[in-house]
A and B are shown apart, each in its own frame.
Chain A
């Protein structure tokens, strides 16, 4: 095809390509980062001053007042504690459950292996839907309890299969020799297999933790009438919806009513930042694990 192109001309077009590509990536970076930086700036800006508008990525009148306001608000403090607890408890329970089931599935000699796999596999494709699940939780007495956050999602079929495929790649001789040393099946799992599974467990822990930390709909649906079980994300949803109300009311120009519903912008932004920060703290530590994990998956398939 393009055999006859002179090398120098090719080089110019190559360079143009590179420049265009770098510019494109810079646009991507700006589009990704700007909203975060803007919100960060607003959260540190004096809330009265914010109303004047025109703030980009630097606060104009720096203050910690917004954070002081939200950190002394009782409902938000409760929400923070509940969010942290459900994340910690949910992640730990989920890791134990998923890794234990995964271990039994990785044992080729396990009698019920097929049965357990099929039961788990089907859950990836079928689900009962909103209302049957709601009724089940009601019948089990899970409504308005902390446990509705951590129990239903404890055994995630997808996570079980990911951990199991990692275990399948561990050298089999390890288990044999442990058995000869007198370890029972549980001992092999706890003392030999789990320590070797650190990379995959870290990845799954990240997924579980992010899922727990970020979910709000279960609070809305099952614990909406229990203020002591509220979560940070749910509080943020409530605040966001008050913003929507203001959009609707903007049509009627009812300023007094608007002010009543809407908390100052800067305070909203401070809550947003508080819900993002924990993820940002964990993310760099676990990043290498999940990139490696996903990469391996791609190369294999």
Chain B
């Protein structure tokens, strides 16, 4: 029955005029019902906070309505640019995100290439499976493990270094500011290396095996095969992912810095988001905190554009 009525209706494409929209709308009302509530959802939770950027230009008082707020222009931004700690946070943010991008991008490629060269398949899949594992545990757990491994009394690294005779005295890694950037970047690498290599491995498996045969016949050793066959073979994927991870520079985040940092290394651990949390939210200086947030977004955008421009300049590929 229902099928009949549907078939009897004119096909939307044939019907012209202003009624067409409402006609299709009626026909697709279920599709609208399935998507519009969620669109409203997204607007509330993702777009409304953008409107909140206006409070960076006010002396925001929570008790007042929007029209009663006192507008102060760029006052909070000027205050921000005069604060020494802001520049510290900016420096740390830039340093850790750039170091993280370089290390966090190249090592997984290397790891994937070397995994691919393993001949014993069982060992290969075991290594692969285990290497994903840290990706799934939280930063809280990872920070706990890092503290444990680097601790003074019972830390695995100190024990190893003492055993090797590299040091006579255990080092208090977590209390030394100059180690902090390295610790953040390396623990990030520990957590994500295996996971980030999945996609490169997949790309490598798509490389034509005949190319390896041909390279072997030409007398290429393993390193030469990697250099002349594997890496060029996954070049396209590398470039796509590089662009994507440059895009991810936006989400520098602060989880690692918050969890791994402590008061002794604060001069190296404070990033822009933490700065906003500490000097904005926790002190209820909402306007100042929002100004930091806006600045953070601007820095992120700047990073992306700079990276993208450099990339365009030094590679022959045309991207974005």
Cβ-defined contact, A130 with B280, below 8 A: yes
Q: How far is the CA of A21 from the CA of B202 in the complex (A)?
A: 19
Cβ-defined contact, B131 with A32, below 8 A: yes
Nearest neighbor of B240 in chain A, beta-carbon distance: A301
Q: A107 — which chain B residues lie within 8 A by C-beta?
A: 31
Answer yes or no: B296 CB below 8 A from chain A CBs: yes
Task: Using A22-B118, A104-B35, A240-B147 as known contacts, say yes or no to A119 and B52 having CB atoms under 8 A apart.
Answer: no
Within 8 Å by CB of B221, from A17, A126, A236, lies A17
Within 8 Å by CB of B219, from A10, A103, A140, A243, lies A10
| Mask of A266-301 contacts with B, CB within 8 angstroms, 1/0 | 001100100110011001000100010011011101
Task: Using A130-B293, A181-B3, A301-B237 as known contacts, say yes or no to A25 and B123 having CB atoms under 8 A apart.
Answer: yes
Within 8 Å by CB of A132, from B35, B49, B262, lies B49
Q: List residues 198-253 of chain A with CB under 8 A from any CB of chain B.
A: 210, 213-217, 221, 233, 236-237, 240, 243-244, 247-248, 250
Q: List residues 1-47 of chain A with CB under 8 A from any CB of chain B.
A: 1-5, 10, 13-14, 17-18, 21-22, 24-25, 28-29, 31-36, 38-39
Q: How far is the CA of A138 from the CA of B30 in the complex (A)?
A: 33
Cβ-defined contact, A298 with B218, below 8 A: no
Q: A4 — which chain B residues lie within 8 A by C-beta?
A: 219
Interface residues on B, range: 35 or more
Answer yes or no: A257 CB below 8 A from chain B CBs: no
Q: B36 — which chain A residues lie within 8 A by C-beta?
A: 112
Answer yes or no: B154 CB below 8 A from chain A CBs: yes
Answer yes or no: B312 CB below 8 A from chain A CBs: no
Q: How far is the CA of A78 from the CA of B254 in the complex (A)?
A: 27
Within 8 Å by CB of A14, from B41, B201, B222, lies B222
Q: Looking at chain B's contact residues, is the secondary structure mostly helix, strand, loop, or mixed?
A: helix
Q: How far is the CA of A21 from the CA of B293 in the complex (A)?
A: 45
Cβ-defined contact, B156 with A34, below 8 A: yes
Within 8 Å by CB of B31, from A97, A104, A126, lies A104
Nearest chain A CB to B50 CB, angstrom units: 5
Q: How far is the CA of A178 from the CA of B200 in the complex (A)?
A: 39
Q: Residues of A within 8 Å of B, CB-based: how many?
A: 100
Answer yes or no: A129 CB below 8 A from chain B CBs: yes
Answer yes or no: B235 CB below 8 A from chain A CBs: no
Answer yes or no: B181 CB below 8 A from chain A CBs: no
Task: Using A17-B222, A275-B138 as known contacts, say yes or no to A132 and B147 having CB atoms under 8 A apart.
Answer: no
Nearest chain A CB to B238 CB, angstrom units: 11
Which of A123, A130, A217, A294 has most B Cβ within 10 Å? Answer: A130
Nearest neighbor of B200 in chain A, beta-carbon distance: A298
Cβ-defined contact, A272 with B141, below 8 A: yes
Answer yes or no: A174 CB below 8 A from chain B CBs: no
Within 8 Å by CB of A131, from B12, B129, B289, lies B289
Additional A-B contact list (5), CB under 8 Å, known A4-B219, A130-B293, A132-B55: A110-B31, A120-B42, A214-B138, A216-B138, A294-B198
Closest 3 A/B residue pairs (Cβ) = A128-B49, A132-B52, A129-B293
